[in-house]
Amino acid sequence: MGGIGYAAVGTNNGKTEVDYHYGVAPQGLAALRVIYGKQASIDITGREYFVSDIDNAHVGGHDNIVRTDIAFTYRVYEKHAISLKYQWNQRDATFPALEDRKQSTGTLGIYYTFLGHDGFGETDWR
C-alpha cells in the first residue's frame, strides 16, 4: 500500500537547535501474516515515511523513517493468547546547517492477546 500526507517529525533532545522537519510525506506499507492452523501466527509489517521539505517554510533537508514490527502469537486457550513482539524504528535526517542524524530504537515486548476470531482472521475459501 502507499499514500501521501503531510507530517512532522523531530526529536525531543533537550537542545535549542532546530531538529525537526515537516512537509509532504509519501509513505509505503507492506504486511504479511502466516497462520499455522488455529494455534499460532506470525505477522511482519514494514512502513517507510519520507518527510520532504516540499511545501513548508523550513528550508532544506528531509527525514526518512523506517519502522518494522514482527510478532509471534500463540493461542493458549480458546481466545486467549500470548504474543511476543519486536519493533524497530530508524530515523535518517539531513539538515543544511547541522550534521546529519541517524537514530535507531528497538523494543521487545510480551503481551496477553485476546483473539477476536478462532482462525487468526483467516478467510473461508470454500
62 domain residue, yes or no:
yes
121 domain residue, yes or no:
no
Task: Give the residue, 79 or 62, on which the prediction is more confident.
Answer: 79
85 domain residue, yes or no:
yes
Gap between the Cα atoms of 98 and 20, Å rounded: 11
Task: Give the structural domain span for 56.
Answer: 2-8+23-114
17 domain residue, yes or no:
no
Task: Give the residue, 13 or 1, on which the prediction is more confident.
Answer: 1
Q: What is the mean pLDDT of residues 92-97?
A: 76
71 domain residue, yes or no:
yes
User: Taking 90 as the threshold, does the pLDDT of residue 25 lie above it?
Assistant: no
Handedness of CA 110, 114, 115, 118 (dihedral sign): positive
Domain count, the chain: 1
- CB neighbours (10 Å) of residue 101? 15
Cell of 67: 519502522
Gap between the Cα atoms of 105 and 30, Å rounded: 20
Gap between the Cα atoms of 67 and 49, Å rounded: 9
User: Taking 80 as the threshold, does the pLDDT of residue 3 lie above it?
Assistant: yes
pTM of the model: 0.76
Gap between the Cα atoms of 48 and 30, Å rounded: 9
15 domain residue, yes or no:
no
pLDDT in tens, 26-37: 899 999 999 998
Residue with cell 480458546: 78
126 domain residue, yes or no:
no
Gap between the Cα atoms of 63 and 24, Å rounded: 11
Residue with cell 528497538: 106
37 domain residue, yes or no:
yes
Helices (H), the chain: none
User: Taking 70 as the threshold, does the pLDDT of residue 16 lie above it?
Assistant: no
